[in-house]
């Protein structure tokens, strides 16, 4: 059999799609849902089976869903599936704190910054939450449920892409089991550990913070009333994020992102329950009454990374594959969703015009759209973490005075609130709540 005949037979047997996405995490699945809801053929590839990704022990984190991100999830038919699990963020309180050497609760500075959702209220309109906190497991389940309703989306999981050949004519992907996928565009939604960018010659700049995030769930005696708190301790931020009450016990809950130095985390995670609870309660404070950490303890090393380019020949990067930021402002997933929404809009509009969606000009449009937003968010989160993760008295005084000054300036507060809600800038249609 000739080589030409073999290639023809392979093409006939291949699975054909408009877009192949490697990585079925929260951003890859969101992009697949956006494209599939607009009728583009999508293949979503992941090494892990869907059942493993939906296990309660797979991911202990929560996601801060900004107002604009909620509008995007509504537009692609996902929000209704998670609304019951979403806790509204009505207020945000940012303060400096220090650990009490005697072992008591961490005292908080009187100088603080307070954001109230009512400040973002449009004249005559309702005062809507600034965002919502959703457990990743619920968000992931809702995305996969939505994908199952989209005939244009095919999920290959577990499956591993062992070869991806990109040329002017398209993309050819070979899976470990021998299956072939052909598409016009390949998207890396692999997260921080991907390899497609390396094969494309895209360099990634990485810097470790020497910090690790400990993630646990807290039960507390008093309701949180929709208040999210960010307490800056010398070793890093300690975030208290409002969750829905436990559906079985009715206990009040919050999600905790506790940042510590890398060298301290292993010992903290190995502590017996009583000692761990003491260290945890010391940082949490007494504002919500008696508190305890429940469930498993998760840990995630923290770093910042950015790709020098967001696109190459028939390849686009989205989410953490393109840029990974510190969780200090809870904006990582929202930043990635803006990638997905912008790429989806560019691809869908080009497809409707009959253009080649994998062409360099199409991908250049995506890269121009996303470059400034991603770099500015990296700069802001990196700068905030470096500013607050120290205990130098002069720096502590300046930042406390800065928080207090912003707190006295309503126009500036409203600007920051609008920014946190993701309502500023050149937003894709999905983030404005409009269909593709």
How far, in Å, are 65, 159, 340 from residue 156 at the CA level?
27, 6, 20
Question: What are the phi and psi torsion angles at 220 (to 5°)?
Answer: -140, 155
In the numeric block, the tokens 């920014």 are attached to: 419
Cα(201)–Cα(279) distance, integer angstroms: 45
Distance separating the N- and C-terminal Cα atoms of the chain = 46
Closest by alpha carbon to 200, among 340, 305, 311? 311
SS3 73: helix
**Which tokens go with 75?**
């537009």
- What is the Cα Rg of the chain in Å? 23
Sign of the dihedral through C-alpha 219, 145, 330, 266: positive
CA dihedral of 406, 411, 413, 417, whole degrees rounded to 10: -160
Using alpha carbons, list the distances in angstroms from residue 43 to 15, 63, 75: 9, 25, 21
Query: Where does 2-84 show beta strands of DSSP type E?
Result: 15-16, 19-22, 42-45, 62-66
Residue position matching structure tokens 């704190």? 97
Is residue 158 reached through a cis peptide bond, with omega within 30 degrees of 0 on the bond before it? yes
Query: Which DSSP helix (H) or strand (E) runs through 170?
Result: strand 170-175
Q: Which CATH number fits domain 3-432: 3.50.50.60, 3.40.50.2300, 3.40.50.280, 1.20.1250.20?
A: 3.50.50.60
3-state helix, strand, coil in the chain (%, to 5): 40, 30, 30
Residues 6+ apart with CB under 8 A from 2: none
Distance CA 276, CA 350 (A): 54
Tell me the pTM.
0.91
Q: What is the pLDDT along the chain (436 residues), one digit of tens a residue?
A: 445 544 444 555 689 999 999 999 999 999 999 999 999 999 999 999 999 999 988 999 999 999 999 999 999 999 999 999 999 999 999 888 777 666 555 566 666 788 888 887 665 556 789 999 999 999 999 999 999 999 999 999 999 999 999 999 999 999 999 999 999 999 999 999 889 999 999 999 999 999 999 999 999 999 999 999 998 888 888 999 999 999 999 999 999 999 999 999 999 999 999 999 999 999 999 999 999 999 999 999 999 999 999 999 999 999 999 999 988 878 999 999 999 999 999 999 999 999 999 999 999 999 999 999 998 888 888 877 776 666 666 666 666 676 667 677 777 788 777 878 888 889 999 999 999 9
Decide: 189 and 292 in contact? Cβ < 8 Å. no
Q: Judge contact between 381 and 331, C-beta under 8 A.
A: yes
CA distance 239 to 260: 12
| Contacts with 419 (C-beta within 8 Å, 6 or more apart), sequence order | none
């Amino acid at each position: 059999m000739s080589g030409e005949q073999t290639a023809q037979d392979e093409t006939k047997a291949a699975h054909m799609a408009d877009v192949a996405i490697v990585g079925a995490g929260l951003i890859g699945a969101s992009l697949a849902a956006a494209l599939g809801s607009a009728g583009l053929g999508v293949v979503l590839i992941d090494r892990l089976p869907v059942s493993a990704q939906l296990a309660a022990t797979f991911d202990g984190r929560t996601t801060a869903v900004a107002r604009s991100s909620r509008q995007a999830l509504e537009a692609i038919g996902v929000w209704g599936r998670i609304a019951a699990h979403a806790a509204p963020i009505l207020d945000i309180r940012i303060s400096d704190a220090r650990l009490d050497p005697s072992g008591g609760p961490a005292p908080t500075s009187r100088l603080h910054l307070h954001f109230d959702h009512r400040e973002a209220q449009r004249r005559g309109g309702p005062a809507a939450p600034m965002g919502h906190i959703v457990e990743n497991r619920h968000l992931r389940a809702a995305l996969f449920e939505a994908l199952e309703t989209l005939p244009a989306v095919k999920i290959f999981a577990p499956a591993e892409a062992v070869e991806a050949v990109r040329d002017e004519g398209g993309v050819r992907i070979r899976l470990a089991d021998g299956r072939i996928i052909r598409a016009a565009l390949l998207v890396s939604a692999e997260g921080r550990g991907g390899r497609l960018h390396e094969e494309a010659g895209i360099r990634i700049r990485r810097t470790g913070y020497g910090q690790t995030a400990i993630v646990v769930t807290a039960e507390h005696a008093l309701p949180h009333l929709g208040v999210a708190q960010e307490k800056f301790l010398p070793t890093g931020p300690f975030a208290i994020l409002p969750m829905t009450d436990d559906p079985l016990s009715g206990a009040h809950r919050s999600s905790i992102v506790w940042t510590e130095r890398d060298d301290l985390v292993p010992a903290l995670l190995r502590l017996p329950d009583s000692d761990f609870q003491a260290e945890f309660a010391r940082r949490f404070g007494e504002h919500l009454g008696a508190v305890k950490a429940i469930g498993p303890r998760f840990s995630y090393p923290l770093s910042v990374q950015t790709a020098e380019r967001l696109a190459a020949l028939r390849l686009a990067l989205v989410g953490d594959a393109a840029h990974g930021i510190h969780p200090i402002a809870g904006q990582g997933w929202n930043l990635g969703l803006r990638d997905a929404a912008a790429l989806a809009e560019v691809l869908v509009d080009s497809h409707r015009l009959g253009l080649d969606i994998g062409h360099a000009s199409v991908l250049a449009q995506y890269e121009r759209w996303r470059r400034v937003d991603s770099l500015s968010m990296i700069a802001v989160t990196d700068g905030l973490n470096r500013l607050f993760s120290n205990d130098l008295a002069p720096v502590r005084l300046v930042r406390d005075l800065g928080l207090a000054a912003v707190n006295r300036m309503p126009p500036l507060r409203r600007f920051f609130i609008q920014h946190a809600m993701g309502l500023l800038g050149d937003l894709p249609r999905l983030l404005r709540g409009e269909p593709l």
